[in-house]
Amino acid sequence: MWQRAGTWAVALAFGLVALAVFPAATFAAEPPWFLDPASEQAGRVARLFNIELLVAILVFLIVEGLIVYVVIRYRQRGPDDPVPEQIHGSTAMELTWTIGTSVALLFVLVVFWQTMTTLAAPPADAEALQVVVRGKQWWWEFEYPEYGFRTANELYIPVGQPVEFVTESDNVIHSFWVPRLSGKVDVVPGQQNRIWFQADEPGEYFGQCAELCGVQHAGMRFKVFALPPEKFAQWVKEQQQPAAEPVTDLAKFGKELFFTKGCAGCHAIAGTQAQGRIGPDLTHFASRTTVAAVLPRTDGNVARWVYNSESVKPGNIMWQTMKNVPLSPEEVDALVAYLQGLK
């Protein structure tokens, strides 16, 4: 008697938990970013997710419903209740679950295929802007081949124009993802995977590497700024200028240090001898909002990065060399003054 009540209680508890947790977790008040799309392409990804979710819910209800039905219908009602009739090899049942699952999976495959093919390449008649995206450890490089410059961690795109991203990596596999604007694309060494999207609304969007790529994977994030076409053209013009010359004595000293302390071996600054390609292009560093993608670009944070980048992004590649190059507080101040003048 008590044993039976216990079984019922457990079954009931499972049912209630499933019914309560599942929809609550799925349809929380704040939709996850990828379910709040700001481009048609991300909209397609969200739609695909919702369709697959519906199929999954349907399968869940059918399977769970049958289990509950069988448990109730064929339960042992008393000590003398015989074991229900056992069946083996029912053609009707086997056909039903084979065809049923095949149809469900085929349906998911078709919608999936449609989504993937539309996301793979921009419409042939559209004038797409090309941006080369390079996954680094642990930052992003964005090169605009048409305009002849590179930048890092902050991607600018024009609103209302398709942008095609050609991805590259010279290290490990990364994944390029802007949840509100696009699906994901794996950034694979020795291969140029492509993805495209078109932002419909001006705004700032969050991007994140979506493939575990080393200690600073979580710090490998970026911002996307979608600008109206005139503003984007203005930004391009500014980025094409060579770097600003330092004006104050402190900043001039900072520029000297940039070469004597080895920074130029890893960083490029257009209009100077600095041609390094290991770290981000710093030509217009002071036009960015962040330092190394993770801190707001204030004097204090730039100083912190230059003095001890390990304290900001433990394991970062710059520190592997710079830990052997001690800088005095005055030298840090001078470097900060120089960097913060690179508008």
Residues near Cu ion (CB under 5 A), total? 4
C-alpha span between 309 and 313 (Å, rounded): 6
Which lies closer to ligand HEC via its Cβ, residue 41 or residue 143? 143
Q: How far is the CB of 320 from ligand HEC (least distance, A)?
A: 6
Indicate which single residue of 35, 45, 209, 224 sits in contact with Cu ion (rule: CB under 5 A): 209
* CA–CA separation, 164 and 36 (whole Å): 22
Q: Which stretch binds Cu ion (CB under 5 A): 96-104, 216-224, 259-267, 285-293?
A: 216-224
- Least distance between ligand HEC and beta carbon 191 (Å): 22
Q: What is the DSSP string of 40-71?
A: HHHHHHHHHHHHHHHHHHHHHHHHHHHHHHHH
Nearer to Cu ion, 220 or 292 (CB): 220
Contacted entry of ligand HEC, Cu ion, none for residue 277, CB cut-off 5 to 8 Å set by kind: none
Question: Which is nearer to ligand HEC, 46 or 152 (by Cβ)?
Answer: 152
Check residue 313 and report its DSSP letter: S
152 binds, among ligand HEC, Cu ion, none (CB under 5 to 8 A by kind): ligand HEC
46 binds, among Cu ion, ligand HEC, none (CB under 5 to 8 A by kind): none
The answer to whether residues 209 and 135 touch, using CB atoms and an 8 Å cutoff, is yes
Q: Verify binding: residue 220, Cu ion, rule CB under 5 A.
A: yes
Q: Find the shortest distance in angstroms from Cβ 280 to ligand HEC.
A: 4
What residues make contact with ligand HEC under the rule CB under 6 A?
138-139, 152-153, 216, 261-263, 265-267, 278-280, 285, 288, 290-293, 305-306, 313, 316-318, 321-322, 335, 339
CA distance 229 to 168: 26
Q: From Cu ion, ligand HEC, none, which one binds at residue 318 (CB under 5 to 8 Å depending on kind)?
A: ligand HEC
Q: Which of 44, 136, 150, 174 is in the footprint of Cu ion by CB under 5 A?
A: 174
Exposed (0-12), middle (13-18) or buried (19+): which is 203, by Cβ within 10 Å? middle
Q: Is the peptide bond before 140 cis (omega within 30 degrees of 0)?
A: no
CB atoms within 10 A of CB 271: 11
Mark the segment that binds Cu ion (CB under 5 A) among 3-11, 50-58, 210-218, 324-332: 210-218
The closest of 225, 248, 277 to 340, measured between CA atoms, is 248
In the complex with ligand HEC, the residue whose CB is nearer, 194 or 261, is: 261
Shortest spacing between CB 234 and ligand HEC, in angstroms: 21
> What's phi and psi for 229, nearest 5 deg?
-50, -40
Minimum distance from residue 327 beta carbon to ligand HEC (Å): 7
Q: How far is the CB of 33 from Cu ion (least distance, A)?
A: 18
Give the CA radius of gyration of the chain.
28
Report how far residue 239's alpha carbon sits from residue 242's, in angstroms, rounded to the nearest whole number.
Answer: 8
> CB of 292: closest distance to ligand HEC in angstroms?
4
Let me know if 318 is exposed, middle or buried by CB neighbors in 10 A (0-12, 13-18, 19+): buried
Interacting partner of 315 out of ligand HEC, Cu ion, none (Cβ under 5 to 8 A depending on kind): none
Q: Which region, judged by CB under 5 A, interacts with Cu ion, from 54-62, 145-153, 168-176, 227-235?
A: 168-176
Q: How far apart are CA 270 and CA 283, in angstroms?
A: 5
Kindly tell me the sign of the dihedral angle through the C-alpha atoms of 108, 110, 113, 114.
negative
- 213 interacts with Cu ion by CB under 5 A: yes
Kindly report the three-state secondary structure assignment for every residue of 255-275: HHHHHHCCHHHCCECCCCCCE
Least distance in angstroms from the C-beta of 279 to ligand HEC: 3
Contact positions toward Cu ion, by CB under 5 A?
174, 209, 213, 220
